[in-house]
Amino acid sequence: MSTAPVIAAVDGSDGSLRALDWALDAARRRDAALRVLHVRQYAAWGQPDVLVAGEPGEAGDPVLDEVRDRLAGGGGPAVEYVAMEGAPSALLPELGSDAQLLVLGSRGRGGFAGLILGSNGMAAARDARCPVVVVPAPGREVPDGFPTRPGPRVVVGVDVDGPDEATLAFAFAEAARRGARLQAIAAYPWPVRFWATAGELAPPTVDQGEVEQETRTLAEGFLAPYLKEHPDVPAEALALPGDAAGALVAASRDAELVVVGRHRRSLLAPARMMGSVTQAVLLHAASPIAVIPPPPSEES
């Protein structure tokens, strides 16, 4: 198969098996192969090794054997099984260089039970060269009251001060694959406070309705080129006051996917970063979360 595979990182945990099911569905939708990967962790000073597992028991990997049994007779995409030895937080991001997607659970085996997102998921979302989908455990609670309608829905965050084209393109393509509506969330700060004199805050001199309308108009303008490419995707721009992360987390209830971008590098911040909004969504959203890297030209 000529297209790049979808990679599902598994470790035998319930979280990784949920990620496997999500990745299998994603591979079907993309007509791509599924690569099931198990990284067997070794001590930090050891050396990595790669074992490609073919027939059951060939590489002596019980985690992959369990996955084979789970997928046996199910049809669907071609499946490749790969076992590696090394540090998952270092290896997983590198493996995204030849993948369409890297999919993993929010927390696997090991670590502390109270962690909402494991270190491997955080490292992959921050450093991988392909989009990373993190599938959370069920039962995450999010605020009520977000406006929704029945039917599948993909949510994407839009920064009207600097929209991320790669993130919008991914969100529209995913909504098209799923026959879903696209909700674009554009947050604006409110209330706006101005300092009048030392120690005193003046009331806002701008009208909230005007700010909301301007924010919505900007967001709709950014969506317009993608609507031409995907005329069958119903899309709406929602301008909401307050915190962008809070709005995206609230919108995640019953969503198929929440799509957020990763920070671009800059001269003042040359290291890869996720940004506070993306990190908060990873920690608290109830739906699977896709973190989209910038194009290679913006990463170098």
Residue 71 domain-assigned (yes or no):
yes
* pLDDT tens per residue, range 262-299: 865 444 444 455 678 999 999 999 999 999 998 876 55
Mean local confidence (pLDDT), 119-132: 88
The confidence score (pLDDT) of residue 176 equals 98
In contact, 130 and 102? CB cutoff 8 Å? yes
Give the residue, 62 or 51, on which the prediction is more confident: 62
Residue 164 domain-assigned (yes or no):
yes
In contact, 223 and 184? CB cutoff 8 Å? yes
Mean local confidence (pLDDT), 229-237: 96
Q: Minimal CA–CA distance to 224: which of 168, 267, 145, 262?
A: 168
The confidence score (pLDDT) of residue 205 equals 65
The confidence score (pLDDT) of residue 165 equals 93
Residue 145 domain-assigned (yes or no):
no
Question: Could you give the CA distance from residue 64 to residue 154 in angstroms, rounded to a whole number?
Answer: 31
CATH number at 186 reads 3.40.50.12370
Question: Could you give the CA distance from residue 131 to residue 257 in angstroms, rounded to a whole number?
Answer: 13
In contact, 208 and 59? CB cutoff 8 Å? no
* pLDDT tens per residue, range 71-122: 987 778 999 999 998 888 888 888 888 899 999 998 644 443 333 456 778 8
* pLDDT tens per residue, range 17-61: 999 999 999 999 999 999 999 998 754 444 444 444 444 444 578
Quote the distance between the C-alpha of residue 119 and its chain's center: 15
The confidence score (pLDDT) of residue 234 equals 96
What domain count does the chain have?
A: 2
Residues 101, 48 share a domain:
yes
Residue 51 structural domain: 6-135
Quote the distance between the C-alpha of residue 171 and its chain's center: 10
Give the residue, 161 or 32, on which the prediction is more confident: 32
Tell me the one-letter amino acid at 2: S
The residues, ordered by sequence, that sit 6+ positions from 172 with a Cβ below 8 Å of its Cβ are 182, 226, 227, 229, 230, 233, 235
| Last residue of one domain, picked from the residues 84, 101, 135 | 135
Residues 178, 122 share a domain:
no
- Give the confidence band of 144 by pLDDT, cuts at 50, 70, 90: confident
The confidence score (pLDDT) of residue 204 equals 59
The residues, ordered by sequence, that sit 6+ positions from 240 with a Cβ below 8 Å of its Cβ are 185, 186, 187, 188, 247
Give the residue, 174 or 269, on which the prediction is more confident: 174
The confidence score (pLDDT) of residue 265 equals 44
The confidence score (pLDDT) of residue 107 equals 66
Residues 187, 97 share a domain:
no
Angle at 37 between CA 94 and CA 300, to 5 degrees: 15
* pLDDT tens per residue, range 189-220: 877 655 555 556 556 567 889 999 999 999 99
Residues 187, 73 share a domain:
no
Residue 148 domain-assigned (yes or no):
no
The confidence score (pLDDT) of residue 3 equals 85
The confidence score (pLDDT) of residue 264 equals 53
Residue 162 domain-assigned (yes or no):
yes
CATH number at 115 reads 3.40.50.620
